[in-house]
Amino acid sequence: MKSPDMRDMLWKMQLIRHFEAKVVELFQKGLIRGATHVYLGEEAVAVGACAALNENDFITSTHRGHGHVIAKGLDVKRMMAELLGKAAGYCGGKGGSMHIADVGAGILGANGIVGGGLPVSTGAGLSSLHRKSGQVTLCFFGDGASNQGSFHESLNLASVWKLPVVYICENNQFAVTTPCWESTSVENIADRAVGYEIPGVVVDGNDVLAVYEAVSAAVERARAGDGPSLIECKTYRWEGHYLGDPQVYRTKEDIGAWKEKEPVRRFAKKLIADGLITQAEVDESDRKARELVAEAEKFALDSPMPPGESLREGLFAPSAPLPPTPSAAADQLREVTYGQALNEALREELQKDPNVLVFGEDVGLHGGAFQVTKNLFHEFGRERVRNTPVSEAAIAGCAVGAALTGLRPVAEIMYIDFSTIASDQIVNQAAKMRYMFGGHATLPLVIRTMCGSGTGSSGQHSQSLEAWYCHIPGLKVVMPATPYDAKGLLKSAIREDNPVVFIEWKRLYSSKGMIPVEEYYIPLGVADVKRPGDDVTVIATGPMVLESLAAAEALAEQGISIEVVDPRTLYPLDKETILASVRKTGRAVVVQEAVTRCSLGAEISAIIVEEAFEYLDAPVKRIGGVDVPMPYSVPLEKAVIPSQEQIIEAVRSLL
C-alpha cells in the first residue's frame, strides 16, 4: 500500500469544503439553477478513496458528485463555470451540477440517475480487464442506490467476471428524505456483499485515513485480479438532499451532533497532534483553498455563456469512414439466411478488431436465443463472447462503460420487450452522455435486440418498440429487412462511434437472400429503393418490406406500378430518398407492424405532408398493427399483423 500524501489530502478536503460553501452561496443568489446537491460533510470519502488511485484509474460519480471530481483532480474554475452554465465549463454548459465529466481524466461522469453509474463502472471494469491495462474503477453511490436493481445486477456481474471495480457506498443516512433504517433490510449495506462472495467492509466515512486504507486494500485486490469489493462509508450530509430542501425529516440536534464529527477539522487536528503539520500551515492551506475558490467564482462569472450555434453540437461523434463496397455481379453473390448474415457480420468484425466484444444472455455455447452468435464462442473464446446473467440493466450499462473506456461492445438484449428493463442505461446513459459531457466522450456501442410478432409469443415477447428509441436524441436506430441489409448494416453499426440500437425481426431469421461474396458495408442513414415504380410509393419497415414487395408483384399484374422504399436506418432517417419517391409518384402508403399511434409511420407521414404536400394527389395512408397487446391465439395474432391484402387495398384506394 502506497503512503498517502497527508497534506494533499487535507488540501483537497478544504478545497471541496470551500467550493461547496460557495455553491450554496451562488445558488441562494440565483446564479446556479436546477437540482443542486452539495457534498458538505462528506469530504473524507472522496478524498480518502481517490488518494488510493493511480492517475489513469477511473471513477463514476453521483448526483452529489462535486467532491468526487475535485478529489480526482478536476479544475475548480472549469467546474464552477459548468455550474453557472458557461461555455468554459467542462461540458460547455450542457451538463451542469449533476453531469460533470472528463473522460480523459478517468472521470466517467457524475450522474443524475440514482444508481445510474453502477452498471457503467462495471463496464469500465470489463474494459480494463479485457485491455489488461491494470486500471481500477471506483464507483461512488449513495445508500438509496443500494436498493436499486442496478446495484445487485452490477455487483453480481462484477463478481462473476472478477472485474477490477471497487463499489463505494456513501451512506449519508438518508435517501432523499427517508432514513436508511426505514428503507434498507440490513443494518449495514456492506453486509450485502456476502451474497456475491466479495469482501464487504464498513468504515467511518468521516475518517479520511480509514477510508484510504479500506479503499487501498480493495484497489490492490482488484489489480491483482481478485475481483470487486464493497465498501460502506458511514457519513452525513450537512445540507438537505438538494439545496432548498426544507429538511423536516431531521433535527438541528442531529445535524449538530454530526458536525461535531466533521472530517476536515478532525483530520487537521490529527495531523497537528502527530507533528506532521502546524496550525499555521493548516490555516495557510485553508486560505489558499478559499482564494482558489474565489478565483473560480470570478472566472465563472466573467466567462461567456455558450453561443446559440453550440446547441446542436456534440450530439453525435463523426462517423468513421467505411471501406468501399465492391459492386457484385450475379456470379459473385451467394444465398444466406438473415440469421447467417448477422452471424457473419459479427465474426468479421470480431476478427478485425480485438476491442470488439459480444455479450448477452446465452450468446456463448448456446449461440443466443435465435442462434445468431452460433459458433462464435468456439472461435473467439469466452473473453470475447461472454455469457451474462439475466440482467438487462447490467448488460446495457456494461456496454456503456466499456464503450466509454476503449472497447466496441455489441450487447444482446434477447427481446426488445426486455429492453424496457434496461431503458435507463440506453436512454439516460448511452444516448445522453456525449452531449451532456459537451461532446467530449465517444460511445461506440451496439445494442442488438429482437422484436416483432408471428411466433406465438404473446404480449411480452412480440412488441415493436422501435419508435421509442427513435424518439431519443443521441441514439441511432437500425432495422434491416433482408440478409443483405442485415450484414452490411450490422458491420457499419459496429464501426459507428455512436450508440446504435440494432433491431432484428424474429420471423425473418430464416428468410433467405443474396449477399456479395466479398466483404461489404452499408452506411447508416441511407434508405434503399427495393423496387422502382411510378404510381404509388410504399414506405415499409421490417417484415412489411417483404409484404410490400409481394403486394407490388400482385399489383403489377393489374398494371399498377409500386415503388417500395425501405428506410433501413430509422434514425437518422433518409427523408430525401422518401420525399424524392413521393414527389415522383404523388401518392404514399406507410406500412409498419407497430401500432400507428405515435409511431415511426406517423413521423414519416408528417414529413411527407410538411415537405411534399404540393406533390400529393391523395392523402397519405398509414397501415399498422391493431392497437392491442399481441394476443397468443393464432387467428387473433394474424389479425393484428398488417397483411399483403391490406397494402393492396390501401394502394387501390389512392388511385
The secondary structure of 356-370 as a DSSP string is EEEEETT-STT--TT
Ranges 306-315, 327-336, 543-552, 604-613: which has the least confidence = 327-336
- Bridge-based pairing state of the strands 165-171 and 137-142: parallel
392 is catalytic: yes
Report the share of the chain in percent with pLDDT over 70.
Answer: 99
pLDDT digits (tens, 9 = 90+) for 501-510: 999 999 999 9
- The strand pairing partners of 140, in sequence order, are 168
At 287, give phi and psi (nearest 5°). -60, -45
Residue 269: phi and psi, rounded to 5, are -60, -40
Catalytic residue among 344, 392, 547, 563: 392
**461 is an active site residue:** yes
Q: Check whether 2 has a pLDDT greater than 80.
A: no
Of 76, 107, 117, 112, whose CA–CA distance to 94 is shortest?
112
Residue 444 sits at the vertex; the CA angle it makes with 437 and 163, to the nearest 5 degrees, is 90
Distance CA 609, CA 581 (A): 13
pLDDT score at 288: 97
Q: Which pLDDT tens digit goes with each residue over 498-534?
A: 999 999 999 999 999 999 999 999 999 999 999 999 9
pLDDT of residue 456: 82
d(CA 224, CA 138): 15
Residue 325 has pLDDT above 80, yes or no: no
- Which parts of 74-153 are beta strand (E)? 137-142
Alpha-carbon distance of 364 to 358, in angstroms, equals 9
606's CB contacts (< 8 A; 6+ apart) are none
pLDDT bucket at 338, cuts 50 / 70 / 90: very high
- Domains of the chain (ranges plus CATH)? 6-303 (3.40.50.970), 330-516 (3.40.50.970), 528-653 (3.40.50.920)
pLDDT at 459 over 90: no
3-state SS track over 219-260: HHHHHCCCCCEEEEEECCCCCCCCCCCCCCCCCHHHHHHHHC
Catalytic, out of 461, 547, 593, 603:
461
Q: CA nearest 204: which of 405, 346, 94, 42?
A: 42
Contact at 8 Å (CB) between 420 and 177?
no
pLDDT for res 330: 66
Residue 626's identity, in one-letter code, is V
Q: Pick from 370, 379, 380: which is nearest to 416 by CA?
A: 370
Helix axes of 208-223 and 263-273: crossing angle, nearest 10 degrees? 90
pLDDT for residue 454 is more than 80: no
Distance CA 216, CA 634 (A): 60
Q: pLDDT of 71-101, one tens digit each?
A: 999 999 999 999 999 999 999 999 999 999 9
**What is d(CA 397, CA 32) in angstroms, rounded to the nearest whole number?**
30
The single residue listed with the C-alpha cell 445468431 is 372
Report the mean per-residue pLDDT for the chain.
Answer: 95
pLDDT at 453 over 90: no
Query: Given strand 137-142, what is the order of strands in its sheet?
Result: 58-60, 137-142, 165-171, 229-234, 200-204
CB 74 within 8 A of CB 294: no
